[in-house]
Amino acid sequence: MRRWIYLALGCLAALITVWALDHALPETYGWLITVLYTVFVFGAGIGTHLTRRQAEKANRTAEPESVEHELAQQSAAGTFSLALVLPLGLGLYLLTQGLYVGAAISYLMVVVLLFAYWIRYAILRERVT
């Protein structure tokens, strides 16, 4: 079987396990479920990234001259504006619901995205010049 199938099955098993623990543990251990979900999200993200990188190396699509690499860059550039608009919409929705902390976090995500963009732009521009 392919590695991504193992990753998907492992993620599914971990998600079901944490969900079952959430329903079985007393409410005083609610913080533990939050920690486990956080570990799951980060672990799934890292596992997905590593699986994708390994597939790129095996298929030789990670090389800068490949068509797939160019398509991935164009796709990422095209979805950047969506990555800015969605948290703004979520923040607006949360504000209308009176969830001010969630809205502030959503708007903070947009600020972090913009800073990350300009920092990366400055680094890439420095390499070119």
Alpha-carbon distance of 41 to 18, in angstroms, equals 12
Convert the pLDDT of each residue in 93-113 to its tens digit. Answer: 988 888 888 889 989 988 998
Alpha-carbon distance of 44 to 4, in angstroms, equals 11
Residue 34 has pLDDT above 70, yes or no: yes
What residue segments make up the domains of the chain, in order of their start?
A: 1-59, 70-129
What secondary structure does DSSP assign to 88-104, as a single string? HHHHHHHHHTT-HHHHH
Convert the pLDDT of each residue in 66-95 to its tens digit. Answer: 777 777 778 878 888 888 888 889 889 988
pTM of the model: 0.49
Which tokens belong to 45? 């993200």
